[in-house]
């Protein structure tokens, strides 16, 4: 579904990621691991069109998408859920969800169906549909950010650190929801610091260090890799 080959991206003269290769097969959950600043978010920004690649290719369903405009990439079926959630805090929960459906604005039936699915997945969003997004708890805001991304009916969802700042119990629920979304047919590329939780739901993973991928393999392989355990899992 997604093939990233030799991807290099820069901020001005600073090379943030270098010759990154990633392969995501339809139906998978793939996790990007690595410390703060290792290059995971830059990879996402380059896929979603917010940053132009300096070199390399990004092929999505046989189409070269590297450097395309973000709205075109959403239309092709890739939606990013950013680390800082980027909600509209003054707007209601429901209005935030509707913003995510912009790409399907001419298909009212599709929007209604997506809204139903999101409300079933996260019933609290239905209960709080009239409340301002900014009044929600951290976990609820993360649900809203994911719900809004789902409203676009993505084929591939880019999830940047969905567990950041959440209490352990909420993190557990969040990962269950991500598994559910995947089972319902959305392929997922996930960046996470919480390697343990992420690898337990992922098919495979890539480990970043200083802008480069240093190890990759199936979740089982990464779990049993001594260096990965030491650096990212503990024990």
Residue in 41, 46, 80, 96 binding ligand ATP, rule: CB under 6 A: 41
Residue 77 phi/psi, 5° resolution? 115, 15
Q: Which residue has the tokens 């480990």?
A: 207
Residue in 29, 33, 40, 118 binding ligand ATP, rule: CB under 6 A: 40
For residues 193, 26, 120, 123, the Cα torsion angle rounded to the nearest 10 degrees is 10
Number of residues that bind ligand ATP (CB under 6 A): 13
Instruction: Yes or no: say if 111 and 151 are a contact pair by the CB < 8 Å rule.
Output: yes
Residue in 2, 24, 33, 34 binding ligand ATP, rule: CB under 6 A: 34
Beta bridge partners of 80: 158
Residue in 1, 2, 33, 39 binding ligand ATP, rule: CB under 6 A: 39
Nearest to 153 by CA among 94, 85, 74, 81: 74
Instruction: Yes or no: say if 32 and 46 are a contact pair by the CB < 8 Å rule.
Output: no
Beta bridge partners of 132: 92
The packing angle between helices 168-183 and 108-121, to 10°, is 140
Nearer to ligand ATP, 51 or 101 (CB): 51
Q: How far is the CB of 161 from ligand ATP (least distance, A)?
A: 6
Nearer to ligand ATP, 110 or 193 (CB): 193
Q: Which stretch binds ligand ATP (CB under 6 A): 8-16, 124-132, 145-153, 199-207?
A: 8-16
128 binds ligand ATP (CB under 6 A): no
Spatial distance between the Cα atoms of 105 and 86, rounded to a whole number of angstroms: 20
Kindly report the CA angle at 145 between 21 and 7, in degrees rounded to 5?
15
Q: Which stretch binds ligand ATP (CB under 6 A): 38-46, 98-106, 111-119, 122-130?
A: 38-46
Q: How far is the CB of 23 from ligand ATP (least distance, A)?
A: 19
16 binds ligand ATP (CB under 6 A): yes
Nearer to ligand ATP, 36 or 106 (CB): 36
Reduced to 3 states (helix: H, G, I; strand: E, B; else coil), residue 156 is strand
Instruction: Yes or no: say if 75 and 86 are a contact pair by the CB < 8 Å rule.
Output: no
What is the pattern of x (binds ligand ATP, CB under 6 A) and - over residues 155-174? ------x-------------
Q: How far is the CB of 164 from ligand ATP (least distance, A)?
A: 8
186 binds ligand ATP (CB under 6 A): no
Q: Kindly list the residues in this chain that would bind ligand ATP in the complex (CB under 6 A).
A: 11, 14, 16, 34, 36-42, 83, 161
């Amino acid at each position: 579904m997604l093939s990233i080959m030799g991807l290099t991206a820069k901020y001005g003269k600073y090379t943030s990621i270098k010759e990154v290769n990633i392969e995501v097969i339809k139906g998978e959950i793939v996790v990007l691991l690595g410390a703060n600043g290792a290059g995971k978010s830059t990879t996402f920004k380059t896929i979603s069109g917010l940053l132009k690649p300096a070199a390399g290719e990004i092929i999505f369903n046989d189409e070269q998408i590297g450097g395309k405009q973000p709205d075109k990439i959403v239309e092709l079926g890739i939606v990013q859920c950013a680390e800082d959630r980027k909600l509209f805090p003054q707007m209601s929960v429901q209005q935030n969800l509707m913003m995510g459906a912009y790409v399907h604005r001419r298909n009212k039936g599709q929007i209604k169906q997506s809204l139903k699915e999101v409300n079933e997945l996260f019933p609290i969003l239905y209960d709080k549909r009239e409340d301002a997004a900014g009044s929600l708890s951290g976990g609820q805001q993360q649900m809203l950010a994911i719900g809004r991304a789902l409203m676009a009916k993505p084929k591939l969802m880019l999830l940047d650190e969905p567990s950041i700042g959440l209490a352990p119990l909420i993190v557990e629920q969040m990962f269950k929801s991500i598994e559910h979304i995947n089972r319902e047919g959305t392929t997922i590329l996930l960046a996470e610091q919480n390697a343990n939780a992420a690898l337990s739901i992922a098919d495979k993973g890539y480990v970043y260090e200083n802008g480069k991928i240093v190890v990759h393999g199936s979740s089982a392989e990464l779990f049993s890799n001594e260096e990965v355990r030491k650096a990212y899992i503990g024990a």
